[in-house]
Structure 1
Amino acid sequence: MTQLRRYSLTIAALSAAGMLFEITLTRLLSALYAPPIVFAVLSLAVLGMGIGAGLAAAWSALRQSSRVSLYIVLTGISALFVGVASVWTASTQVPLWLAAIFLALPYIFIGLSLSTLFSALSDDSRTLYAADLIGAGIATILIIPLLDAMGALNAILFCVMLFMLAAMVYRPIGLAVVGLLLGILVWGGNLTANWLTVDMAALSSSFKTITEPLADGGQILETRWDSFARTDLVEPAEGSWRIYVDGGAASIIPPAQDNEHLIQDIGLFAFVTAQPQNVFTIGSGGGLDVWFALQAGAESVTAVEVNPQAVALVNDNAEYSGDIYNQPGVRVVVDEGRSVLRREDTTYDMIYLAQVVTLTAERAGYAMTENAVFTQEAFEEYLSHLSDDGYLGIKLYDEMTMSRTLSLAIEALKSQQNLSDAEALDHVIALLAPSTSPPTPLLLVKNAPFTEEEVIAIGRTAQRIGFATLFLPGIQADPPLDAVVSGVNTYADVIDISPVDLSPPTDDRPFFYQFERGLPQDLANLAVALGVIVIALLLLLVSFQWKARLPRLAASTLYFAALGAGFMMIEVALIQKIRLLIGHPTFSVTLVIATLLVGGGLGSMLYRRLAPTLERLSLWPAGLVVLVLIAWQIVWPLVNPALIGAAPVVRALATILLLLPLGLAMGVPFAAGLTVAGHRDARLVALAWSVNGVFSVVGSVASLTLAVSFGFSTVFIVAIVLYAIATLTARLL
């Protein structure tokens, strides 16, 4: 085997294992901690890749090819340590900085490995980079079946084995052999003996509400891991069985017997009031919404649930639930609610959302699944799919979520019917169940104004049952809504004086559960911490340059920093743009990342064939990305509406075809820059990996910061600007 082929196979295997590890670690940590914590810890940890490459740039002894096998074995060992430590420390409050340091260890060794291999064969950087991207892309494709087959815990241990296998590919010496045997032992041992398990009752995160019923004597009846989340079926000491997603987001399975207590749920009131014949529910979970619809006499119920294991658990426990999901007229769709609603283009007597929340962390940032459900565009779609006298029912968590949902309803009604704020409120009724903790609000919205007879009947019935009336058009309007009804103020004025952010989220800024004004404190803290780290690293780079005298260091740093941040920003923005078309969030993320990575690898190989020798970098590699991004911005809004009603396979293939040219273009600038940098000085190759790795994390955090503040469209524009900067810098390398 030639050296180039051996290096390429090693890089492909290492990148595949690294990508699998990052995604499976995200899944594991999401079950243990809150999404903002997961995002912060992983962001800081992935900085380790840049730090490892920086160490290789600073000390030539670390760039010896003979050390690569050791680095990869240490990657596997540290990955094992991270997986085990994450589980065993989940019951304690580990400082964020300490968790980030430990989680960074595998990435430090990956950075050392990649920078050493690329430095050794810098002339072949485009071939090696193709192996890197294609390996990671293939891993992204395989992650869904892998997680579905063995869950996050066993998948992490499987990654340990893959790291050891990558070391064997590079050099099948004693250390790599021992490492591979260790990987097989820990993975196979957990498959058979379950020596590594998560105690959900002992979790320290306040976000993990599963701890409450378990502390009160409840028990977990069954646990299922897949690519979407960890799903637990819990039998509390009292009350109905519940399904928990990643330890939070509980949903009730309505029992076939002894279900009288469910009649008091304010959610049932919405169905009894509307008396719908055909119903569409989003986030059906354990099936309670379906039970409500059937109790109210609905003949047709379409229940959409994004978590396949929730549906499977309900079906597999049909004796308890009365086989709720297989009752006559009930159809269950595992998908994203809005995507189904758009594609099927049907009208319903009721569209119902009940406390839709998943709290599952994603590679792109905070939990986004439920946020797509609560946007102005989403509410406009809901209203457009209602029959003439149809109801939109939203059961919420508290009065704060109700107030923000009210802003969505008002804006959607104003947009569709050209109403004033006061006129829009004639279409809304707000109720509250005071007996729950916290009290549970219910919002009822219609396309037509509520008549006086309807308002009186609904208000009297609600009060007789024991519910409180918060807003009844024409009858009851408490402050601050009384000023809106009278026309003195608009609801925008109410939003302005509120201590929390109640503004209506949009598809471009879909952060419904973000109530802090300005940047969320945890995200601001992360951005500050990352900024301090980056400044410290840049100061170290200046200090290093004082002695090293590397050629064209400033231009190289700017070029590779722009590419690192720009690539990540494009990835994040595209995931947000495409997810509503594709549907299921897991498939959307996989499709975007895999297409960009594999496409980038093919682009790097193609450029090597078109330009076998490369002594100087031209404007075209990065400039072409700018042109394709601008073209994509123009084409996507034209193509997207035409694809909404297409079959899933057609939508996926069309998306791949639209993303592939962008992926091909994005795979060229970094590899081409590495090749030219290697001609200047071998240390610049490792340094390029370091800068690119650090600024990839900067790009990820900056994407979320910009999206929360200005929207994902701004993220996309900034990414174009970054590639334009790389284009202008290219000739200076």
Structure 2
Amino acid sequence: VPGLLLATILFFSSGILIYEISLTRIFSVLMRYHFVFLTVSLSMCGLGVGGMITPFLRRKMSAYPKKDNNLLEISCIAAALTMPLSIVLIFLTPLKSFLTSITFIPLVPFIPFLCAGVFFSHLFEIFGNFSGKIYFADLAGAAIGCLLVIPILQLVGGLNATLAAGAFCLASCFLLGLMKKKRIFAICSMVFLFCTVLLSARSGYGSILGIASIKTKNAGFIKPLYQAVDNPVEMPRIIYSEWNAFAKTDVVEFPGINLKYIYTDGDVPSTMQYFNGDFSSISDLKQTVFYLPFYACEAKRVLSIGPGGGLDILVALLGGSKEVTGVEINRSIFSIMKRFSWFNGGLYDRPEVNVFLDDGRNFIRRSQDTYDIIYLALTQTATTQSGTFVLNEGYIHTVEAFRDYILHLNENGVLVFVTQDRNLLFRAILSTLSVLSKISPVDESRKHLLALAVSEEAFSTTPYRYALMVRKQPFSPALCSTILEKAQKQKFQPVYVPFIHESILEGRTFQEITRKLSRESGPAVNLAPCSDDSPFFLDLSFGIPGTLVR
């Protein structure tokens, strides 16, 4: 078997795998992940369809003997050119208005996979005697593509990675031209390859290929960022973007406010507060739910899981904490916080702040340290009403995770869970109760909990609406009175306060309390705690979410 043939297959397979994974990353920025896999899977059907139509193409071309030998070259270069072209068609032409159509959008990337299917089918037909070696080269190329796609995504981002995928396939075309001694085809492939590599190298993060705002009435399909930037009233704008193998991270600015929002993959924005180093200038943060645990304890050591823009870190420093630890999984957050240090006061670079690049759950399991406060914020959960976001896995909100957090509290330490949604607050209450009730009776376990909400007037102005505080030691009557008195001065409302406002958790057993909260939420809401085996904390339905069924 010719060595050039094996090299051709190796480069082509690498390009196909890079394109496939790049598509997954691109659509992950725009769509809920269920639709991402559906879209990519439908597109990849082109591989099978290409194999099916190859005999038909050969029969049609049999009347032209000279062209029959060109089917490999045609399918190879067609796949190479349509890879970046498919992304251009989707994002830089009027076709982007169809991004919300799950039946239409897969048809565009379907074409490169179709061409690839024709190429492989015809290849095995011609060189059937060497099928074992061809298959080995195919698998080796796919493996190399899987290894290379991570650094490619790191260097040029998801959209421009399709240019790199096209470049690999063009290299395959060049080698194919050399093998078949077709000089013009080889030269054309080399010219296209040079142009593609040049574009990919100079593209940066979306300067050539970018994602603009997307108009849609289907809020459950497109991520919030691309709906927000199309708002003609608030007129937000994306002022900085960074794309790596983990996620695309955007900084969004709204005119007239001292806040910036950091979106990770177009979802769940984190708040970056303006800070000039003077804590008196941010004293209004004492009116947020993040400051509530400082009424319960003197917090010298604080842990924030997923600090993002650093709002909870800023509140911890405002509360007098001397050692603040953050655990952030998105590498881009670090570079963004450094780039905007003029705005956030160099928050991550302060001597009392240490932020680690790690998964929060893994970090706390490995850690031997204990903390006075552990922050666990979950915001923008109104999107759970779409019915599609709910099936995102969340291993930091399971029963086992809550147990890990409680074990890493100091004797008077407090776990703080912040959310926007009342029903998720109830689920968090039941999750922590299920942990605590294994240590002590339910009547005693309830004394470890305290829940507050912002005033009704503040509901429309903040996503940080509810705070659940879980104390390692039971709250005393005196401490509850002190916390409630200070909280009410800031217009917070009691949801559950031991000894004072207990009606919502009435019941002698865990099951009775669950039924009580279920009556508060409604019969269609599932508040049962989530385990690591079923980590869908946001899914409050008893079956398949209604929107997915419809």
Q: Is the 8 A contact 1:404 1:504 kept in 2?
A: yes
Aligned to 1:188: 198
- Which of the numbers 250, 271, 290 marks the counterpart of 1:252? 271
- Cα 1:92/1:58, change in 2 over 3 Å: closer
Per-residue deviation, residues 667-716 of structure 1 (Å, max 9, x unmatched):
xxxxxxxxxxxxxxxxxxxxxxxxxxxxxxxxxxxxxxxxxxxxxxxxxx
Mapping 1:466-477, distance limit 5 Å = 466-477=491-502
- Cα 1:300/1:167, change in 2 over 3 Å: same
Distance across 2 between alignment mates of 1:57 and 1:262:
69
Q: Is the 8 A contact 2:213 2:227 kept in 1?
A: yes
Q: Is the 8 A contact 1:429 1:471 kept in 2?
A: yes
The yes-or-no answer on 1:96 pairing with 2:121 is no
- Cα 1:342/1:90, change in 2 over 3 Å: farther
Aligned to 1:243: 262
Distance across 2 between alignment mates of 1:241 and 1:260:
18
Q: Is the 8 A contact 2:88 2:209 kept in 1?
A: no
Aligned to 1:43: 41
Per-residue deviation, residues 2-58 of structure 1 (Å, max 9, x unmatched):
33x344322221221111111212222222333332222112222222222233477
Letter of the 2:72 partner, please give it.
Answer: V
- Cα 1:49/1:385, change in 2 over 3 Å: same
Greater shift after overlay, 428-437 or 197-206? 197-206
Greater shift after overlay, 108-117 or 58-67? 58-67
Measure how far apart 1:493 and its partner are: 7.3
Letter of the 1:165 partner, please give it.
Answer: A
Aligned to 2:163: 157
Aligned to 2:344: 321
Measure how far apart 1:440 and its partner are: 1.1
- Which of the numbers 14, 22, 33 marks the counterpart of 1:24? 22
- Tell me the SS of whatever aligns to 1:108: helix
Q: Is the 8 A contact 1:32 1:246 kept in 2?
A: yes
Distance across 1 between alignment mates of 2:60 and 2:405:
59
Aligned to 1:8: 6
Distance across 1 between alignment mates of 2:4 and 2:118:
17
Distance across 2 between alignment mates of 1:421 and 1:156:
56
Aligned to 2:87: 83
Mapping 1:279-318, distance limit 5 Å = 279-318=302-341
- Cα 1:73/1:487, change in 2 over 3 Å: closer
- Tell me the SS of whatever aligns to 2:309: coil
Aligned to 1:141: 147
Identify unmatched segments of 5+ residues in structure 1: 360-364, 526-733
Measure how far apart 1:251 and its partner are: 1.2
Letter of the 1:424 partner, please give it.
Answer: S
The yes-or-no answer on 1:381 pairing with 2:384 is no
Q: Is the 8 A contact 1:425 1:485 kept in 2?
A: no
Per-residue deviation, residues 294-316 of structure 1 (Å, max 9, x unmatched):
11111211101111111211122
- Tell me the SS of whatever aligns to 1:461: helix
- Which of the numbers 114, 124, 128 marks the counterpart of 1:118? 124
Letter of the 1:459 partner, please give it.
Answer: L
- Tell me the SS of whatever aligns to 1:99: coil
Distance across 2 between alignment mates of 1:43 and 1:522:
21
Distance across 1 between alignment mates of 2:375 and 2:45:
43
- Cα 1:432/1:176, change in 2 over 3 Å: farther
Measure how far apart 1:396 and its partner are: 0.9
The yes-or-no answer on 1:70 pairing with 2:74 is yes
- Cα 1:214/1:12, change in 2 over 3 Å: same
Measure how far apart 1:449 and its partner are: 2.1
- Tell me the SS of whatever aligns to 2:114: helix
Greater shift after overlay, 294-303 or 272-281? 272-281
Q: Is the 8 A contact 2:99 2:105 kept in 1?
A: no
Mapping 1:197-208, distance limit 5 Å = 197-202=209-214, 204=216, 206=219, 207-208=223-224
- Cα 1:378/1:14, change in 2 over 3 Å: same
Distance across 2 between alignment mates of 1:515 and 1:200:
32
- Cα 1:352/1:369, change in 2 over 3 Å: farther
- Tell me the SS of whatever aligns to 1:506: coil
- Cα 1:402/1:367, change in 2 over 3 Å: closer
- Tell me the SS of whatever aligns to 2:106: helix
Mapping 1:596-611, distance limit 5 Å = none
Distance across 2 between alignment mates of 1:288 and 1:261:
12
Greater shift after overlay, 385-394 or 56-65? 56-65
Distance across 2 between alignment mates of 1:473 and 1:78:
64
Letter of the 2:426 partner, please give it.
Answer: S
Distance across 1 between alignment mates of 2:412 and 2:138:
56
Mapping 1:410-559, distance limit 5 Å = 410-415=433-438, 417=439, 419-434=440-455, 435-437=458-460, 440-479=465-504, 481-482=505-506, 484=507, 489-491=512-514, 494=517, 498-521=523-546
Q: Is the 8 A contact 2:214 2:227 kept in 1?
A: yes
Q: Is the 8 A contact 2:434 2:510 kept in 1?
A: no
Q: Is the 8 A contact 2:261 2:270 kept in 1?
A: yes
Distance across 1 between alignment mates of 2:60 and 2:502:
71
- Tell me the SS of whatever aligns to 1:469: strand
The yes-or-no answer on 1:209 pairing with 2:190 is no
- Cα 1:38/1:7, change in 2 over 3 Å: same
Identify unmatched segments of 5+ residues in structure 2: 62-67, 383-387
Greater shift after overlay, 188-197 or 302-311? 188-197
Greater shift after overlay, 60-69 or 264-273? 60-69
Aligned to 1:224: 242
Distance across 1 between alignment mates of 2:480 and 2:211:
49
Aligned to 1:673: none
Per-residue deviation, residues 53-88 of structure 1 (Å, max 9, x unmatched):
233477764997752222121112221232112323
Distance across 2 between alignment mates of 1:249 and 1:110:
37
Distance across 2 between alignment mates of 1:211 and 1:133:
40
Letter of the 2:85 partner, please give it.
Answer: F
Measure how far apart 1:256 and its partner are: 1.6
Measure how far apart 1:414 and its partner are: 3.0
Distance across 2 between alignment mates of 1:488 and 1:182:
67
The yes-or-no answer on 1:169 pairing with 2:179 is no
- Which of the numbers 349, 369, 394 marks the counterpart of 2:417? 394
Measure how far apart 1:272 and its partner are: 4.6
Per-residue deviation, residues 278-334 of structure 1 (Å, max 9, x unmatched):
111111101111111111111211101111111211122222211111112211111
Distance across 1 between alignment mates of 2:334 and 2:259:
16
Distance across 1 between alignment mates of 2:389 and 2:236:
30
- Cα 1:392/1:40, change in 2 over 3 Å: same
- Cα 1:374/1:115, change in 2 over 3 Å: farther
Distance across 1 between alignment mates of 2:363 and 2:104:
43
- Cα 1:145/1:474, change in 2 over 3 Å: same
Per-residue deviation, residues 474-507 of structure 1 (Å, max 9, x unmatched):
322345x33x357781426755963133222222
Q: Is the 8 A contact 2:381 2:419 kept in 1?
A: no
> How many aligned residue pairs are there?
514
